Chains A and B, each alone.
Chain A
Amino acid sequence: GDSVTQTEGLVTVTEGLPVKLNCTYQTTYLTIAFFWYVQYLNEAPQVLLKSSTDNKRTEHQGFHATLHKSSSSFHLQKSSAQLSDSALYYCALPNASSGSWQLIFGSGTQLTVMP
C-alpha cells in the first residue's frame, strides 16, 4: 500500500543555519498533491506547503520543497532556521484506495532550533 517515510525523528539545528527534512513516498495511485504539515506545540496540524507539479519549487514562510517524482521525494528545506520554526513536521500524501480521499502521514520529524 501507499506509504510516506520520514527518516529523521529528531532534528536539532542552530539558529541561522540551514535545515533539511527528508520525505520519500511510495504510491501505486495517481497522486495529485503532496503536503508538508507543521504542528506547533498544543496547536492543530496545518498545511505548510503543497505541491502538485513535478520538479517545481514551492515556497512558503521561508521553507521550500520540490517534488521529484523520479526519486519519489519531497524534501523540506530552509536556508536559515529560526527559533520559531521549532515544531513537528509531517509529510503527507492523499490516498483514495479506500474509496474516499484520506491523508497518509509520515512518522513526523521534530525540529528543534537552538539559539
Chain B
Amino acid sequence: ETAVFQTPNYHVTQVGNEVSFNCKQTLGHDTMYWYKQDSKKLLKIMFSYNNKQLIVNETVPRRFSPQSSDKAHLNLRIKSVEPEDSAVYLCASSRDRGDTEVFFGKGTRLTVV
C-alpha cells in the first residue's frame, strides 16, 4: 500500500533546464527525505527535512534544492540539470526516531539528454 506519492514517474529533459519533482506523504510523519539512486543502484541521501531543520548532504550540488509547504510535502528542484543528474530520485518519510522504518515512494526517473 503506497503512502508516499511521487510525481512524475518519468521525466526527460535537456541539459540546462530546470525541473521540479513532487512528493506527498499521508503517514503523518514529521521527517521527509530525498534519496538519489544512481545507475549502479547506490542509494545516497540528499536531504532530510522536518519542522526543525534541513539537513543537506555535503556532496549535493547547489543546483539541487528542497521545497516544503508543510510537513506532508517535500518537493525537489534542480535549477540547471546536468547529465550526471540522470538517476531515480526517491522520496521517503519517517518518524524522527532511530528505530523506525523509512517509507519510500516509487521514485521519479530523470533522464538528462
Which residues on A are within 8 Å of B, measured CB to CB?
31-33, 35, 42-47, 50, 52, 88, 90, 94, 96, 98-105, 107-108, 110
Find chain B residues with CB under 8 A from A101 CB.
31, 48, 94, 96-98, 100
30 contacts between A and B (CB under 8 A): A33-B100, A42-B106, A43-B106, A44-B2, A44-B103, A44-B106, A45-B43, A46-B103, A47-B101, A52-B99, A90-B43, A94-B98, A94-B99, A98-B48, A99-B53, A99-B55, A100-B31, A100-B48, A100-B52, A100-B53, A100-B96, A101-B31, A101-B48, A101-B94, A101-B98, A102-B48, A103-B102, A107-B40, A107-B41, A107-B42
In the complex, given contacts A44-B105, A50-B99, A107-B41, what are 6 additional A-B residue pairs having Cβ atoms less than 8 angstroms apart? Answer: A44-B4, A44-B103, A105-B42, A105-B43, A107-B40, A107-B42
Interface string of B70-113 (1 = CB under 8 A from A): 00000000000000000000100010111111111111000000
CB distance from B46 to the nearest CB of A (A): 10
Q: In angstroms, how far is the closest chain B Cβ from the Cβ of A40?
A: 11
Question: Which of A33, A96, A101, A104 has the largest count of B CB atoms less than 10 A from its CB?
Answer: A101
B13 to chain A: closest CB distance in Å? 21
Taking the closest CB of chain A, its distance from the CB of B30, in whole angstroms, is 10
| Contact between A108 and B42, CB atoms less than 8 A apart | yes
List B residues at the A interface (Cβ < 8 Å).
2, 4, 31, 33, 40-45, 48, 50, 52-53, 55, 90, 94, 96-107
Residues in chain A near residue B4, CB distance under 8 A? 44
Residues in chain B near residue A108, CB distance under 8 A: 41-43
Chain A interface, DSSP helix/strand/loop, else mixed = loop
Q: Is the CB of A103 within 8 A of B45?
A: yes
On whether the beta carbons of A35 and B96 are closer than 8 Å, the reply is: no
**In the complex, are the beta carbons of B90 and A31 less than 8 A apart?**
no
A83 → B minimal CB distance (Å):
21
